[in-house]
Structure 1
Amino acid sequence: MRVTDSQFTTMMTRSMMNSNVEINRVAEQIATGNKINSLSDDPSGSMKLLSLDKTISSAEQYSSNISNVQSKYSEYETYLMSVNELALDVHDLLLQANNATVGEESSGGIIAELESLRQQALDTFNKKSDGIYIFSGTDVYSEAIIVDDSTDPVSYSFGGNADHRNTKISEDGSMNSNFTAQETLQGSLDFFTTLDAAIAELKNPTADKNAILGAAIDSTDATQKSVLNTVTILGANYNSLDRMAVNNADAALYAETVKTDINALDYAEASVRLTASMNTLQASQSVFAKVMTSSSLFDLM
């Protein structure tokens, strides 16, 4: 088959372009240390790297989610332990008030302390964080405990709801990120109603004093146990999150290791390819230059 000057020129130009492309590709590999810098370098390997990047990104997001949930748990633990301490103080004061030897002056001090502790407990369950009520379930713009002081005695009711907000912490797992007043108090507001009754009894003692204060003590003890039970659940969840954080870190590390294995450049091999491509380009340029300075291909034969 006869090769014309124009055909030969096209062939040589294409050869030099291919050599330039290969030189640029190898140079980029050497500069980045990566064997794959674009899809065309290795389509199959590129897809594997994309999948590994997704695994790493997901693991990092899950780790961030875990950190956020644990931060919220720490906040809940602080408030719940505060309620626990309040309940202990209420218990001690009620026992003291139930002592027949307590005088009128001491009784007045106890009443003031009990009223203060009751309000602190209400304030704690109606705490806000970043503008939302943290013990109100998913109904975060409603108070967790609603007080109606238009009645006598004052009435209490749960606001919000008992629903949990779930946060994804792994590919196939999630964890509730909130605790509610309803679950913490086991659906009962007896702590507040019996405490109010005890305070009212201390202000105006009757023959039922022992029974009324005894009921308040029992309710306070039950509330403390319920709060501590919630703290126990919180602690168990926190430990589970710790373990899941380790798993996510391991998954990310494994993916990074596989990425390195797939994408790590063999510098010696790349250097050989670069030298070969440069030699090919130089040879092509030399031949092309001779052709361009000759009258025809036949002058080179």
Structure 2
Amino acid sequence: MRVSDSQFSAMMSLAMMGTNAEINKVTQKIATGNKINNLSDDPAATVKLQGLDRTISSAEQYQDNITNVQAKYSQYETYMMTLNDITLEMNDLLLQAKNSTVDSESATGIVNELQSLKQEALDILNKQSDGVYLFSGTDVYSPAISESPPYELLANDNHRETKVSDDKSVVNNFTASQVLGGTSEFFLAIDAAIEEIQNPSDDFQTTLGNALDVTSDTRTSVMNSVSVLGANYSTLDRMMQNSIDTALYASTVQSDINALDYAEASVRLTQSLTSLEATQKTFVSVMSSATLFDLM
């Protein structure tokens, strides 16, 4: 069969294009270190790699979520431990006023300290971060509690949740109602004690005794919230490790599927370059001849 110059040229061009495509593919693999860079390289393995990518991405997102929740927990812990300290200081002041005969100057000092501590406690419960109230439940743009009698709980007792794994979410906030045990009686009791210290009556011992009891109950409620926070924090530590392990395992499987055998790739590249060179020499040799009949 006679082959025309144009047919031969087309055949050789196709051969060189195929070899060039193979060289480009191998070169890309060597450059990326991956044996699968395109769906056509291995469709089944590509689907597996995409699934592993989603697993790693989800795990990393959960790790970020856990870190954010733990940062919030650290903030809440600081404020709640300060509340605990405030109740302890109040307890000492109330005992001092109740069990001792204090002069007018000492009574004034106790009253001033109680008023200052009460305001500090109110300020903590109405703390804001990034423009939202921390202890206001889901009503984050409202103060948690009014700062004057009857100290109404203004927001709600709802909790916000953050997803930290495929099948688990955790509470990421604490509320004023939760911390105070569902009532603002603490502040009313302190006000009553202050009034009694300033103007003693026959109810002096009863009023200060009640304030001591309410302060103790409030401290217990605060520390219960701290305990919940600590337990949640430990759970998040374990979930963080699980998420890290999941991402590491997925990455290892990914590497097993997609890691390039450089020795094999180098051999393939050398073979393709040799093939291309031979094809080019043949093409030049033939096309430089006047006719193909000399080679038939």
TM-score (norm 1): 0.94
Q: Secondary structure at the match of 2:34?
A: coil
Q: Secondary structure at the match of 2:99?
A: coil
Structure 1 moving runs of 4+ over 3 Å: 1-5
Q: Secondary structure at the match of 1:273?
A: helix
Counterpart in the other structure of 2:203: 208
Report Cα offsets for 1:201-228 as digits up to 9, x if no partner: 1111111111111111110000000000
Q: Secondary structure at the match of 1:174?
A: strand
Counterpart in the other structure of 1:151: none
For 1:2 and 1:224, locate their aligned partners in 2 and report how far apart those are by CA, in whole Å: 102
Superposed displacement of residue 291, structure 1: 2.5
Report Cα offsets for 1:228-263 as digits up to 9, x if no partner: 000000000000111111011111111111111111
For 2:245 and 2:119, locate their aligned partners in 1 and report how far apart those are by CA, in whole Å: 47
Counterpart in the other structure of 1:194: 189
Amino acid at match of 1:91: N
Q: Confirm or deny that 1:122 pairs with 2:107.
A: no
RMSD across aligned positions (CA) = 1.5
Amino acid at match of 2:39: L
Q: Secondary structure at the match of 2:119?
A: helix
Superposed displacement of residue 2, structure 1: 5.8
Superposed displacement of residue 59, structure 1: 1.2
209-218 vs 271-280, greater mean Cα deviation: 271-280
Amino acid at match of 1:12: M
Report Cα offsets for 1:94-136 as digits up to 9, x if no partner: 1111125222222121111111111111011111111211011
Amino acid at match of 1:25: K
Q: Secondary structure at the match of 1:197?
A: helix
Counterpart in the other structure of 1:45: 45
Counterpart in the other structure of 1:58: 58
Q: Confirm or deny that 1:104 pairs with 2:99.
A: no
Identity within the alignment, %: 58
Q: Secondary structure at the match of 1:225?
A: helix
Q: Secondary structure at the match of 1:215?
A: helix
Counterpart in the other structure of 2:217: 222
For 2:24 and 2:130, locate their aligned partners in 1 and report how far apart those are by CA, in whole Å: 53
Superposed displacement of residue 6, structure 1: 2.6
Counterpart in the other structure of 2:146: 146
Report Cα offsets for 1:162-185 as digits up to 9, x if no partner: 111211111222111111101111
Residue-pair matches, total: 296
Superposed displacement of residue 147, structure 1: 3.0
Counterpart in the other structure of 2:274: 279
Match of 2:157 among 157, 162, 166: 162
Amino acid at match of 2:14: R
Amino acid at match of 1:157: E
Amino acid at match of 2:180: L
Q: Confirm or deny that 1:14 pairs with 2:14.
A: yes
Q: Secondary structure at the match of 1:146?
A: coil
Amino acid at match of 2:281: S
Match of 1:252 among 247, 256, 269: 247
Q: Confirm or deny that 1:288 pairs with 2:293.
A: no
Q: Confirm or deny that 1:74 pairs with 2:69.
A: no
Superposed displacement of residue 279, structure 1: 2.0
